[in-house]
Amino acid sequence: MKRKLKWYDLMALGVGGMLGVGVFVTTGQVTKNYSGPAVFISYIIAGVAALLSSLCYSEFSVQIPVAGGAFSYLRLTFGEYMGYFAGANILMEYVLSNAAVARSFTEYLCITFGEKPDSWRIGVEEFMKGYDKLDFTAVAIVLILTLCLCHSTKESSMLNLVMTVFHVVFFGFIIIGGFSKGSLKNLVKPNGLAPHGIRSVVDGAAIVYFGYIGYDSASTMAEEIQNPSKSLPIGIVGSVVITSLVYCLMSFSLCLMVPYNEIEEKASFSMGFESIGWNWAGNVVGAGASLGIVASLLVAMLGQARYLCVIGRARLVPSWLAKVHPSTGTPMNATLFLGFCTASIALFTDLEIVVQMISIGTLVVFYLVANALIYRRYVIIGNNSSYKILFFLFLLSITAIGFSFSWKYYHWWGLLLFGGSNLTIVFLFQCYVKVPCVASFGWSVPYMPWPPALSIFLNAFLMTTLKKLSFQRFGIWTILITLFYMLYGVHRTYQAEETSTRHHDMVS
């Protein structure tokens, strides 16, 4: 693909990809049902976890500057299946989240024109609850963006840059409006800052993590970035920091305006302004939110096509999905295929059905990337024993899981035991295992192994806060993609290797 993008394009892609998703889609639901006015703390926890993961992504993207993100990183570190597993999960997250976000676009657009959030949807009584409201507006916006992305990456990036700048200015209006018209009393009334308890604040952090998928989209653009060693760390880490700050301020302003128990789960910011008597502002917020959601969709759909294109290059899915159009320089087949899948799900599936499924897939992939970074740095580059490093990673995961279950089941002695053990293991590893020099590879994560080790801990911890149903659905999805890999992917990659070997022998 053509290298046309610079660091500010990448940062705009990251910010645009995250902002519209998290703050407009999940804030109302998490505030009302989980975190209460402490929702900004949920965003801080999720933001720290995302920042640690983004550091891991940045090093990989600089040293392996190709499209494909987690798929490419894990495939080169842990082998083909782990790369495929990560890629399939990221694609699942993109398609489901884009479909859900497209439906949120309809809700805010309805508010813009003074209608109720569900008024443009068509109810079908014969369908199951959660799938019974057809949304043709969401389908239309997905298909329009799909056609835009087929045309050109650079033009799509410029469109996103313009929308993101407007988006940030618009967010400033919401934050200033909330702070000026809100009341500090709403933070503690009716039931305190964390009405459902500190556990619910942490549970909320796992759900709002859904809003941080966008920086992964930025890393998938590595093949199209000029000067990757400089642009990628600035773009990826910078976008996470900016987004986390805005998320916290936005959620805080909402809770200042409206008591948490009166916040609407759908189109919460528009309804919040209407509740304080600013009906005109509710319409403006609806318009701005719609634009922000379009920017987020544009970036996410840009990233998902690159993922599928690279997986197609590896022959793990049909190779026609990997074809890049000669004139536009875009993976047109992958873009069209995923656009169709997203539009199909957006037609009928509500956000509540998929949000926790999206979160668990994201957390699993980011957990694997953090493990891969440690393994790559100390084994592939540092030439340490793989068994020693794998044992260290095993201990990190076991202590993180032990801490998580101690938290879940109120075993306070377990928090001290497993938390202390985790920190001790990382400290001893840092003291006795030498960090290899990677200066020649470009930018790298500082203070190894602490950032990826903490990322492993936080991702494992947040995963255990999700509901049982999320794990059941994730288990079914894992079985399905594993069967596809065994029945199709393994054979296709083997045939490709055989063909390549024969061709090489003939040439020799």
* % of the chain at pLDDT higher than 90: 17
Question: Among 25-39, 94-108, 220-234, which is the least confidently predicted range?
Answer: 220-234
CA angle 164-166-167, nearest 5°?
Answer: 60
**Does any domain span residue 449?**
no
Q: 54, 298, 47, 69: which is closest to 161 by C-alpha?
A: 298
pTM of the predicted model over 0.75: yes
The residue behind tokens 């020799």 is: 508
Per-residue pLDDT tens digits for 410-443: 788 889 999 999 999 999 999 988 877 776 667 7
Q: Look up residue 409 and give its amino acid.
A: Y
**Does any domain span residue 348?**
yes
Burial (Cβ within 10 Å: 0-12, 13-18, ≥19) of residue 436 = middle
What spatial distance separates the first Cα and last Cα of the chain, rounded to whole Å? 30
- The residues with which 123 forms a beta bridge, in sequence order, are 133
Per-residue pLDDT tens digits for 451-477: 999 999 999 998 888 888 888 888 999
Instruction: Name the packing angle between helices 7-25 and 228-257 (round to 10°).
Output: 30
Look at residue 497 and tell me whether its pLDDT is greater than 70: no
**Does any domain span residue 409?**
no
- The residues with which 248 forms a beta bridge, in sequence order, are none
**Does any domain span residue 221?**
yes
**Does any domain span residue 411?**
no
Phi, psi (5° rounding) for residue 233?
-60, -40
The answer to whether the beta carbons of residues 397 and 421 sit under 8 Å apart is no
Residue 80, domain extent: 7-367
Question: Among 150-154, 176-180, 481-485, which is the least confidently predicted range?
Answer: 150-154
Rounded CA separation 218/328 (Å) = 20
**Element holding 475 (H helix, E strand):** helix 468-484
The pLDDT assigned to 375 comes to 94
**Does any domain span residue 91?**
yes
**Element holding 122 (H helix, E strand):** strand 122-123
Residue predicted with more confidence, 213 or 363: 363
Determine the distance from the C-alpha atom of residue 316 to the mean position of all C-alpha atoms in its chain, rounded to a whole number. Answer: 23
Average pLDDT over residues 155-178: 74
**Does any domain span residue 413?**
no
CATH number assigned to the domain comprising residue 196: 1.20.1740.10
- Domain count for the chain, please give it: 1
**Does any domain span residue 199?**
yes
Rounded CA separation 247/478 (Å) = 31
Q: Is the bond preceding residue 190 a cis peptide, omega within 30 degrees? A: yes
Per-residue pLDDT tens digits for 330-371: 788 888 899 899 898 888 877 666 766 777 888 899 999 999
**Element holding 490 (H helix, E strand):** helix 490-507
Query: What is the secondary structure of 84-117 as a DSSP string?
Result: HHHHHHHHHHHHHHHHHHHHHHHHHHHHHTT--T
Give 210's pLDDT tier (boundaries 50, 70, 90): confident
Per-residue pLDDT tens digits for 397-416: 999 999 998 988 878 888 99
Rounded CA separation 232/239 (Å) = 11
Encode 170-236 in three state secondary structure. Answer: HHHHHHHHHHHHCCHHHHCCCCCCCCCCHHHHHHHHHHHHHHHCHHHHHHCCHHHECCHHHHHHHHH
